[in-house]
Amino acid sequence: MRLLFGLLIASTMLFACKSTKDAVKNTEHPSYILFGNGGGFTGKTTTYQLAKSGQIKKQSGIKSAFNSHSTVESAVCTQIFESIDKLELKDKSLNDPGNLTYFIEIHQDGTVHRLAWGGTSQEPDSAVRGFYNLMHGLATRQVIAKE
């Protein structure tokens, strides 16, 4: 009886440790999207962050902190992250910053994929431009609604 009880406790501890490790592993590389624009006469950069949890944060200027603003509905957030794969954004290559630069940075599974445009040698395709416009519109509506 003691042997059975000891095995039960040992197996419970083993599985408890494993699930804790998996939980830590999942939070090591949180998924989020950075997007925004910067440059021009003032050189000011505005960056928005959309986390997979739906939380939107805004950063005004490179050296300032992100301020939490709002939360996007779960279904909308899920569609946005699924559209990254559907639009094959991580397979695209676009690195043409200019005087006024627009950017999308996808952080998933410990990797970062950045698309930047605004220069004169490369134009973003309609998928990139449409995704940026959707994200920027959503973020500015959410931020304005909160303020």
pLDDT, residue 9, reads 43
Q: Mean pLDDT in the chain?
A: 80
- Going from N- to C-terminal start, the domains of the chain cover 1-28, 31-146
pLDDT at 35 over 90: yes
What is the rounded CA–CA span in Å between residue 36 and residue 47? 5
pLDDT at 23 over 80: no
pLDDT at 67 over 90: no
Q: Please list, in sequence order, all residues whose beta carbon lies within 8 angstroms of the beta carbon of residue 45, skipping any fewer than 6 positions away.
A: 36, 37, 38, 39, 59, 61, 62
pLDDT, residue 19, reads 36
Q: For the purposes of burial, counting CB atoms within 10 Å of the CB of 142, is it exposed (0-12), middle (13-18) or buried (19 or more)?
A: buried
What is the rounded CA–CA span in Å between residue 143 and residue 71? 10
Check residues 69 and 75 and name the one with the higher pLDDT.
75
Give the model's confidence band at 65: pLDDT under 50 very low, under 70 low, under 90 confident, else very high. confident
pLDDT at 62 over 80: no
Q: What is the pLDDT of residues 84-126, one digit of tens each?
A: 999 999 999 999 999 999 999 999 989 999 999 999 999 999 9
Write the CATH number of the domain with boundaries 31-146. Answer: 3.30.1560.10
